[in-house]
Amino acid sequence: MNLSTIGTAVEYFKQALKLDSNYALAYWGLASVDFCLSYFGLKRTREAKPNVEKCVQKMFEIDENLSQAYLVLGMFNAFYEWKWAEVGSACQRALELDPNDVDILQNYSIYLVDWGHFDLARKLTQRAKLIDPLSDYTELCSVLPDFYAAKYDRVIERFSPYLELNPPFLWGLWFLWRTFSLVNRKQEAVDACKKAFLAAGANDLVHAMDSAGTDNAFDTAACIMADVYKSHYCSPYDIATLFIHAGKKEEALHWLETAVEEVDPKLVHFNADPDWRPIREDKRFVQLLRTTGYRT
């Protein structure tokens, strides 16, 4: 993620508001920046949340029937509040107001796959692809139902082109390496994971993974990120993911607990992610599902 480009975008949104303080879509842009920074582990939730909450309030003050306002509200409730029923209601209202908004179709589909509603999610992403057929993000959303339904051959077939994409699509690579790992294609999983880290600019981490060898690559990456976390925030959910693919269940549970403490936005996938199969019956994992509202 290019932080200088993000900074430029923020300045443009702020300039737009100086010209027109009632330009609601500028608040949508500012909220989107904080969503992205917190989701990808570049900003803590407690730092991003107040800004997003302010943007939500301003958008509804300007236009209470703005579809993007409902989408921002849905994402706010999903990322930072774990109010899952409210997420669904907000996304449904956004879609009613603008059934052809690609952002709404994409994000609502992600919410649906996280709760196992694969068929409806596919319908939404099919519509999104008709509207914006060249979007890598829409393509990713259209494949997620297969990922969560454990149709891994389909996922690999459709995500493998990301290995050669230039510029790289980090999020697609993140799903691809996990898919390879889930089907025990470890070398390909490690290679795809290294490409994801290269896309993120983590060259030293990739070098350490190379030195560690295939069998120890995920554990090495997880330990490095855990060490970085002591002084510089990064996603604890990502650290847990690396540990579970390294076969380190206790470490994975520890970092999932940290993710819950930090309200890591990637917990939106917590209920559905197949990565957690080895610990899904652990009572500590079940308690974390309850804490995040996935179980009563």
Question: What pLDDT, in 10s, does the model give residues 11-57?
Answer: 999 999 999 999 999 999 999 999 999 999 999 999 999 999 999 99
CB 92, CB 104: distance < 8 Å: no
Q: Does 180 map to a domain?
A: no
Question: Which SS3 state, helix, strand or coil, does residue 41 take?
Answer: coil
Boundary (domain end) residue, out of 89, 123, 147: 89
Boundary (domain end) residue, out of 89, 114, 136: 89
More confident residue, 241 or 167: 241
Confidence grade of residue 130 (pLDDT, cut at 50, 70, 90): very high
| Nearest-angstrom CA–CA distance, 140 and 64 | 31
What pTM was estimated for this model as a whole? 0.95
State the total domains in the chain: 2
Question: Which SS3 state, helix, strand or coil, does residue 296 take?
Answer: coil
More confident residue, 237 or 165: 237
Average confidence (pLDDT) over 194-201: 94
pLDDT at 3: 59
| Nearest-angstrom CA–CA distance, 61 and 24 | 9
Over 70: is that where the pLDDT of 2 sits? no
Over 90: is that where the pLDDT of 188 sits? yes
Which of these, 169, 172, 181, 253, lies nearest to 217 by C-alpha position?
181
Chain mean pLDDT for the chain: 96
Boundary (domain end) residue, out of 42, 58, 89: 89
Burial of 203 (C-beta count, 10 Å sphere; 0-12/13-18/19+): exposed
Q: Which range of residues forms the domain containing residue 260?
A: 202-296
Average confidence (pLDDT) over 272-279: 97
CA 272 to chain centre: 13
Q: Does 157 map to a domain?
A: no
